Amino acid sequence: MGWKSEKVRVNILEHELVPRHEVLSAEEVVELLRRLGIRPEQLPWIRASDPVARELGVKPGDIVRIIRKSPVAGESIAYRFVISG
């Protein structure tokens, strides 16, 4: 994952611009889609080749929960659907 052959490995997840990403479990996915009443591809997308997605090792079809810091709400939760590419 990340920069394979480099001797220095940088953990990009620590950067202040990167919010926390979590992979949803199967039950959480069902619950989320039922609550929002949408199909997964109607969520915003994130590519499987995205640096953070690669770091987490997510596969296309997964849903990622993103916990963003927001100046308005303090913390806000968003979801992204992992697409291939």
Partner 1 sequence: MNISDEELLKLLEPAKQILPPKIFNELYEKVRGIPLTRDELSEVVNLAVNEYLNTLIEPGEPIGTVAAQSVGEPGTQMTLRTFHYAGVRELNVTLGLPRLIELVDARKLPDTPIMVIYLDEGHRYDREKALEVARRIEITRLENVITRVDIDLITSTIIIDLDLEMMKDKGITTNTVVKALGKIKAVSQGVRVDEDDENRIYVEVPSNYDFLKTQKLRDRILKIKLKGIKGINRVIVQRRGNEYVLITDGTNLEAVLKVEGVDVRRVFTNSIYEIENVLGVEAARQALINEIHNVLEEQGLDVDIRHVMLIADMMTLTGSVKQIGRHGIAGEKTSVLARASFEVTVKHLFEASARGEVDELKGVAENVIIGQLIPVGTNLVRLAMNPTLARSRGDR
Site of interaction with partner 1 (CB under 8 A)? 3, 6, 8, 10-12, 14-19, 21, 44-47, 50-53, 66, 68, 70-76, 80, 83, 85
- Minimum distance from residue 30 beta carbon to partner 1 (Å): 21
Contact 59, 24 (CB under 8 A): no
- Minimum distance from residue 19 beta carbon to partner 1 (Å): 5
- Minimum distance from residue 76 beta carbon to partner 1 (Å): 7
Contact 34, 73 (CB under 8 A): no
Tokens of 27: 């039950």
- When the beta carbons of 8 and 26 are compared against partner 1, the nearer one is 8
- When the beta carbons of 39 and 74 are compared against partner 1, the nearer one is 74
Give SS3 for 7.
coil
